[in-house]
């Protein structure tokens, strides 16, 4: 997926947000933002992929600031909040109908994602945010197709590419459901910190290793760049029979590749360019098979 002109607003906002996490010194913030603007100018253009453009910018910001993990505090908070609601989420997803249960657990992982922009603001009712998502719908709903694939005995291994910290707590709920169908699941997190994406540290907090083999991409790329991934990841990517990819960064990047196996994208379309590309409205939930 290529960027739209308005993606410039998002990348600049991300830089400002990151510098606010790096330092409270306004003079230093101006210095970091001004320097990073030059990098944005170099990578911004009609053929850029949003996630890959963001990778270059955030790598540069980490390097010049000397802060390898600007979002560490926010990630820790997201995990803490998600853990508080894990039992509630499991309870709300506990329904007898297997299709509805699968759909609920997909929505649960999206609910974990919306903690992103809810948990760190005052006056936000996080429990209501989660409940509204769980009781909402999927604008694109390929849950029947996913259920059929889970029942398909020819599909033995599933590569589950995680997205954010916090969200990864609820990913465990969906992975547990997938495991009921006798599938081997390999969960993937980032090899190094980037934005608020989940790393091995977050996977351990979520105890994903209790239900799946956990590996990393081997890099700090937002989304996936196959050319930068580790041999371990590439081996699991090639041998997987089906891929589940969480979040917009993975959608933006994986759509740049021709993949000869079923791939499901689970995400909330948080911005207009992604929403337009998928064919939904901003804020709508998606379980898309392609």
Is residue 10 assigned to a domain? Answer: yes
216 and 282 part of one domain: yes
Same domain, 172 and 52: no
At residue 118 the predicted structure's pLDDT band, cuts being 50, 70 and 90, is very low
- 13 Cβ neighbours under 8 A, 6+ residues apart: none
Answer whether 0.75 is exceeded by the pTM.
yes
Do 38 and 150 fall within a single domain?
A: no
In this predicted structure, what is the pLDDT of residue 124? 63
CATH number of the domain residue 46 falls in:
1.10.8
Which band of pLDDT confidence, cut at 50, 70 and 90, is reported for residue 127? Answer: confident
- Condensed to tens digits (0 to 9), the pLDDT of residues 223-260 reads 999 999 999 999 999 999 999 999 999 999 999 999 99
Boundary of a domain, candidates 50, 65, 80 = 65
Assess whether 29 and 117 both reside in one domain: no
Confidence of residue 119 (pLDDT cuts 50, 70, 90): very low
Based on the fold, state whether residues 59 and 78 are members of the same structural domain. no
For the chain, how many residues are written? Answer: 290
Instruction: Give the model's confidence band at 113: pLDDT under 50 very low, under 70 low, under 90 confident, else very high.
Output: confident
Kindly state the average pLDDT of the residues 118-145.
Answer: 79
Q: Please indicate, yes or no, whether residues 111 and 174 belong to a single structural domain of this protein.
A: yes
Q: What is the pLDDT of residue 125?
A: 74
pLDDT, mean of residues 108-129: 70
Parallel/antiparallel/unpaired status of strands 157-161 and 184-189 = parallel
Continuous segment of H or E residues that includes residue 194? none
Note the pLDDT of residue 129: 81
In this structure, are 190 and 75 located in the same domain? yes
Asked if 114 and 214 sit in the same domain, the reply is yes
Give the integer Cα–Cα distance in Å for 30 and 113.
Answer: 30
| Total tally of structural domains belonging to the chain | 2
Query: Does residue 262 have a pLDDT over 90?
Result: yes
Res 123: pLDDT: 54
Strand order in the sheet with 285-289: 140-141, 285-289, 263-268, 242-246, 157-161, 184-189, 213-216
pLDDT at 120 over 60: no
Of 15, 32, 65, which one is at a domain's C-terminal end? 65
User: Residue 183: phi, psi to the nearest 5?
Assistant: -90, 145
Q: What is the pLDDT of residues 200-216, one digit of tens each?
A: 999 999 999 999 999 99
Query: Between 126 and 226, where is the model more confident?
Result: 226
pLDDT digits (tens, 9 = 90+) for 47-101: 999 999 999 999 999 999 999 999 999 899 889 989 999 999 999 999 999 999 9
- Is residue 22 situated within a structural domain? yes
Q: What is the pLDDT of residue 112?
A: 87
User: 280: domain range?
Assistant: 71-289
Is pLDDT of 126 > 80?
no
Q: Same structural domain for residues 19 and 76?
A: no
98 plus 218 within the same structural domain: yes
In this predicted structure, what is the pLDDT of residue 121? 47
Q: Which two tokens stand for residue 181?
A: 């169908």
Cβ proximity of 176 and 203 under 8 Å: no
Query: Which tens digits make up the pLDDT trace of 2-57?
Result: 999 999 999 999 999 999 999 999 999 999 999 999 999 999 999 999 999 999 99
| pLDDT of 116 over the 70 cut | no
**233 domain residue, yes or no:** yes
Residues 50 and 120 in one domain: no
Asked whether residue 25 is domain-assigned, the answer is yes
pLDDT in tens, 144-178: 999 999 999 999 999 999 999 999 999 999 999 99
- Is residue 162 within a helix (H) or strand (E), and if so which, with residue range? none
Instruction: Give residue 185's pLDDT.
Output: 98
Same domain, 190 and 91: yes
């Amino acid at each position: 997926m290529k960027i739209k002109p308005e993606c410039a607003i998002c990348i600049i906002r991300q830089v400002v947000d990151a510098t606010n996490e790096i330092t409270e010194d306004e003079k230093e913030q101006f210095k970091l933002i001004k320097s990073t603007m030059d990098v944005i100018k170099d990578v911004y253009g009609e053929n850029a992929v949003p996630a890959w453009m963001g990778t270059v910018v955030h790598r540069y910001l980490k390097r010049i600031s000397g802060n390898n993990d600007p979002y560490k505090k926010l990630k820790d908070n997201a995990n803490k909040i998600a853990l508080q609601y894990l039992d509630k989420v499991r309870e709300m997803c506990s329904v007898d109908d297997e299709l509805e249960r699968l759909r609920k657990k997909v929505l649960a992982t999206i609910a974990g994602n919306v903690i992103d922009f809810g948990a760190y603001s005052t006056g936000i009712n996080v429990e209501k945010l989660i409940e509204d998502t769980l009781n909402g719908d999927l604008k694109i709903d390929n849950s029947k197709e996913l259920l059929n694939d889970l029942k398909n005995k020819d599909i033995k291994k599933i590569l589950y590419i995680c997205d954010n910290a916090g969200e990864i707590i609820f990913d465990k709920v969906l992975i547990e459901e997938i495991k009921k169908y006798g599938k081997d699941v390999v969960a993937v997190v980032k090899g190094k910190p980037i934005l608020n994406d989940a790393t091995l540290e977050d996977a351990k907090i979520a105890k994903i290793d209790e239900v799946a083999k956990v590996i990393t991409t081997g890099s700090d790329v937002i989304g996936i760049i196959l050319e930068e991934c580790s041999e371990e990841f590439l081996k699991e990517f090639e041998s997987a029979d089906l891929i589940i990819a969480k979040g917009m960064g993975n959608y933006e990047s994986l759509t740049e590749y021709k993949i000869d196996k079923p791939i499901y994208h689970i995400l909330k379309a948080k911005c207009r360019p992604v929403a337009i590309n998928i064919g939904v409205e901003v804020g709508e939930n998606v379980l898309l098979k392609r």
